[in-house]
Amino acid sequence: MNKTVYVRLKHRIQAKPNERITLNKIAKIIADEALISKMGDQIIHQIQSKDKTYVVIDVINVIEKIQSIDPSLDVQPVGPTQTIVEIQNHRKKFAPVLFFLVWLLLFVGSALTIMNFHEDVSMQRMHRNLYQFFTGNKIDKPLILQIPYSIGLGLGMVLFFNHVFKKKFNEEPSPLEVEIFNYQMDLDQYIAINENKESVKNDDD
């Protein structure tokens, strides 16, 4: 019988409160058929209310668990060294009122910001000069320049975030998606180190 066990922990999983987290759920295991069926149902962690939102399971606990079945097994960890378990106990519900308030905040805020910006850089005067430069005439409100400009303003932002034209151009992620991903990775890294009992000494443990 082949005694080598390869374990690849998942980066991040979601679990319900009071769920029993088995080896199968947090890791992909390559080993002898009989071994897998024996190990897969082993409980690595029982979620309790004191776990709050996140539990980090370190690879060392998994190795310990596997070797408690058969100490002669050679466990080879591959990939992430810990799994972040996100407990969905108080799943945030989507609040339409809150969302509407945020929407309004962003809408009014960005409208006033752009007006401030225009005043700040004396754009009206600049547009008048531009109009005079191109046509030789002087007018007070060069709206023929300013209305396309306003539409282009929105178009440029949409173009930058690449949401509307996503399907048309390519499947590359938009900067926003990359940004959210990076933020999530930073959070995960923080949790992985700070919630991990193996890497932080906790007095209350």
Kindly tell me which of 43 and 153 has the beta carbon lying closer to another protein: 153
Q: What is the CA radius of gyration of the chain?
A: 28
Q: How far is the CB of 42 from another protein (least distance, A)?
A: 33
The 72-91 contact track toward another protein, x by CB under 8 A, reads --------------------
> What is Dmax (Cα atoms) for the chain?
92
Provide the CA 12 distance to its chain's centre, in angstroms.
11
Report how far residue 2's alpha carbon sits from residue 178's, in angstroms, rounded to the nearest whole number. Answer: 42
Q: How far is the CB of 26 from another protein (least distance, A)?
A: 23
8-state DSSP, 173: P
Q: How far is the CB of 99 from another protein (least distance, A)?
A: 6
Which of 127, 152, 156 lies closest to 139 in space, CA to CA?
127
Binding of another protein by 134 (CB under 8 A): yes
For another protein, the binding residues in 96-125 under the rule CB under 8 A are 98-99, 102-104, 106-115, 117-118, 124
Q: What are phi and psi of 55, to 5 degrees?
A: -130, 135
User: Out of 43, 69, 78, 159, which residue is the one contacting another protein (CB under 8 A)?
Assistant: 159
8-state DSSP, 65: H
User: Is the Cβ–Cβ distance between 46 and 20 less than 8 Å?
Assistant: yes
Kindly tell me which of 50 and 90 has the beta carbon lying closer to another protein: 90
Binding of another protein by 145 (CB under 8 A): yes
Kindly tell me which of 69 and 115 has the beta carbon lying closer to another protein: 115
Q: How far is the CB of 131 from another protein (least distance, A)?
A: 7
Cβ partners under 8 Å of residue 127, min gap 6: 142, 145, 146
Q: Count CB-CB contacts under 10 A for residue 146.
A: 15
What are the residues binding another protein (CB under 8 A)? 92, 94-95, 98-99, 102-104, 106-115, 117-118, 124, 129, 131-137, 141-163, 165, 169-170, 172, 175-176, 179-180, 182-184, 187
